[in-house]
Structure 1
Amino acid sequence: MTSPSSGPGSSGTPAPAAAPAPSTQIPAPKALAKALEDGMYAKATTPYGRMFLLSLTGGAFIAWGFIYMVTSQQGMAEWPTGIAKVLGGVVFSVGLGLVVISGSDLFTGTTMTVMPWLSKRITAGRMLAHWGISITGNFIGSALMALLILLAGVHASNGGAWGLITLNTSLAKVSYDWPRAFFLGLLANFAVCLAVWIATAGKTVTDKILAVIGPISLFVATGLEHSVANMFMLPMGLMVKYGAGDEFWNGAAVQKAGVTVDDFAALTPLSAVWDNLIPVILGNIVGGAVFVGVYFWLAYNKPETSAAKEEARKDS
């Protein structure tokens, strides 16, 4: 007589089948557009309290990307400009990588909630409320990171070289006229939302990180304007200008550059808002909502929505 088996299925019940391995094939473009719309719908319908909390980290994580970029640019003046800019862009992409993986809320990405609005899944009021909460939380998170960097004395590192980069970068950002700032913002968020589009197709952390590097490094290296990134850089530049103190202004790098606080007279809170943030935000909205959200909705999601409405009409 054989002894009863003690293994799985010994009672006569077959052992459960192993779960199939997840597919590594990326969705087809049409399915990807639907996944992007569904993701935007989920973000827009998040409870407002959680939405605000996730917006704080959205701003803070993009600030981390800019912090890394500034750090990478110290001592790069002797390098070929293209190499220095591409390096800065690659390290900056850490910021969007953190946003994508953590599920944080980034205003520039939320402009694509125009997709579920076009499909009548959310109201215009809900979409605009999401945008408002997102941009407010992003600004607070970004500005708080700037304050922490100042309190930590990072701006004075390497003889003030770190803080000098933020001053020069901030001054350049408030020197654009409105049309140029608008179009720089449009192009920047065109690239950022394409990065989100590609990352949506990713199956692993590695996929998603690699997906954002190309478009993000492209926009940073080209010198395009991203409103949330500027919500860190401009407050950082202003904090250095008004609050760095003698340790910074007497630093070796600052002295070597031969600059004083008077050289940054054009950098003010008013110029930061009026000459940069407002036109860049408007450009970001067009670049993300129209050039990516509306485009992919028209190309893939509108025909499906129209077909569903026609089927419902026939059934009625």
Structure 2
Amino acid sequence: MSSGALSPGEATEQLYQTGIHHLEEATQLTFLKNVYGGLLLSFGGLFSIIASAGCPGLDESNPGLVRLLQGITFPVGLVVVYFVGAELFTGYPMWLAMTALQRRGRPIEYVRGLAVSWLGNLVGALLVATSFSYLSNTLTEEPYRSGLVAEVTEDIVDAAWAVIFLRAIACGCLVTLAMFMGTQNGDGISKALGLHLPFFLATTARFPHTVKYMYYASAGMMMGAPLSVGGFLWKCMLPITLGNTIGGAVFTGAYNWWVFMYCEDQKAPDRFDGLDGGSDGGA
């Protein structure tokens, strides 16, 4: 196309190819790319905390404006992750849902990809939380410390498990939609906007993102948030990870597979044969 943008069907083909790549990717490469992705997205989180918590009086008089500040700043991390070729766990449910529906790969490859990406992101997020937020005293001073503690307390500690889970589904849908739009657009500015806008919606609504709360919750615990390690795993990571997985796999991965691959396959059964490249993806 003259604009350099892919059609939704062409972008779906690209996402499917990405899923095949992740099924076959070496474990150490998956881990390192996700460590770097967790680190970069956490820097976006650090930027968001400084921008929003740095105006403590604004939260009482104009809470919507504080949400907008978070929505504008946090997605910068996602844009950087995408541009440098790092990875985030939240993209894997979308990619792997498409490959699973195409009956590619083995179960162990799916388990490995999801587990290694999640652990890699956690390592990157903990590195930023400990070294660049706590030990560096970047967030230990007021009003940043109390702002982070208040947000973790409100969004995780005081929220019901089911509420966190439902909100995480919405985030999984929006963040994978951002990645879809980033894939769809060709030039740098369009890619950045495509990545930013859906994640802007998710961040403004404070829909929880797995890697965001790997960083927010761990840093908040260091700053004094009333959250234990057990609470971090059960009340924070479990519902957010499950919700993001369902949102990305169903609302973006399965939807695009059904509309642009399965339905089109009924009309042209050989359309996607060339995407397999003669490989069965380890099946």
Amino acid at match of 1:238: M
Local SS of the residue matching 1:25: coil
* Structure 1 residue corresponding to 2:47, chosen from 68, 78, 97: 68
Q: CA deviation at 1:299?
A: 0.8
Paired position in structure 1 for 2:75: 93
Query: Which whole-Å CA distance do the structure 2 matches of 1:281 and 1:126 have between them?
Result: 19
Local SS of the residue matching 2:269: helix
Paired position in structure 2 for 1:268: 228
Paired position in structure 1 for 2:170: 187
Structure 2: runs of 5 or more not aligned: 274-283
> Relative CO higher for 1 or 2, CA cutoff 8 Å, sep ≥ 6?
2
Query: Which whole-Å CA distance do the structure 2 matches of 1:117 and 1:106 have between them?
Result: 19
Q: CA deviation at 1:124?
A: 2.7
Whether 1:42 and 2:21 are equivalent positions in the alignment is yes
Local SS of the residue matching 1:225: coil
* Contact persistence 2:6–2:185 (CA under 8 A): no
* Structure 1 residue corresponding to 2:213, chosen from 224, 230, 237: 230
More displaced 10-residue stretch of structure 1: 212-221 or 168-177: 168-177
Alignment of 1:204-219 (within 5 A): 204-219=187-202
Paired position in structure 2 for 1:124: 107
Q: CA deviation at 1:297?
A: 0.4
Q: Which has the larger radius of gyration?
A: 1
Whether 1:52 and 2:18 are equivalent positions in the alignment is no
Change (3 A) 1:310 1:189: closer
Paired position in structure 1 for 2:153: 171
Which string of whole-angstrom CA distances, capped at 9 and with x for unpartnered residues, describes residues 25-83 of structure 1?
31222112111211222233221111100010111111011100000011153252212
- The root-mean-square deviation of aligned C-alpha atoms, in Å, is 2.0
Change (3 A) 1:311 1:271: closer
Query: Which whole-Å CA distance do the structure 2 matches of 1:115 and 1:283 have between them?
Result: 18
Whether 1:294 and 2:283 are equivalent positions in the alignment is no
Whether 1:33 and 2:16 are equivalent positions in the alignment is no
Query: Which whole-Å CA distance do the structure 2 matches of 1:92 and 1:132 have between them?
Result: 25
Aligned-pair identity (%): 24
* Contact persistence 2:56–2:147 (CA under 8 A): no
Q: CA deviation at 1:311?
A: 11
Query: Which whole-Å CA distance do the structure 2 matches of 1:309 and 1:100 have between them?
Result: 31
Alignment of 1:126-165 (within 5 A): 126-148=109-131, 149-157=133-141, 160-165=142-147
Query: Which whole-Å CA distance do the structure 2 matches of 1:204 and 1:40 have between them?
Result: 22
Paired position in structure 2 for 1:308: 269
Whether 1:197 and 2:180 are equivalent positions in the alignment is yes
More displaced 10-residue stretch of structure 1: 37-46 or 211-220: 37-46
Query: Which whole-Å CA distance do the structure 1 matches of 2:83 and 2:123 have between them?
Result: 21
Q: Normalising to structure 1: TM-score of the pair? A: 0.79
Query: Which whole-Å CA distance do the structure 1 matches of 2:119 and 2:99 have between them?
Result: 22
Local SS of the residue matching 2:240: helix
Amino acid at match of 1:38: Q
More displaced 10-residue stretch of structure 1: 124-133 or 136-145: 124-133
Q: CA deviation at 1:206?
A: 1.7
Query: Which whole-Å CA distance do the structure 2 matches of 1:204 and 1:51 have between them?
Result: 26
Amino acid at match of 1:46: E
* Contact persistence 1:100–1:208 (CA under 8 A): no
Which string of whole-angstrom CA distances, capped at 9 and with x for unpartnered residues, describes residues 85-123 of structure 1?
111111101111011111111101111121112112322
More displaced 10-residue stretch of structure 1: 166-175 or 99-108: 166-175
Query: Which whole-Å CA distance do the structure 1 matches of 2:272 and 2:44 have between them?
Result: 47
Paired position in structure 2 for 1:77: 57
* Contact persistence 1:64–1:95 (CA under 8 A): yes
More displaced 10-residue stretch of structure 1: 295-304 or 70-79: 70-79
Structure 1: runs of 5 or more not aligned: 1-21, 242-263
* Contact persistence 1:110–1:131 (CA under 8 A): yes
Amino acid at match of 2:197: G
Local SS of the residue matching 2:143: helix
Q: Normalising to structure 2: TM-score of the pair? A: 0.88
Paired position in structure 2 for 1:280: 240
Q: CA deviation at 1:164?
A: 1.3
Local SS of the residue matching 2:140: helix
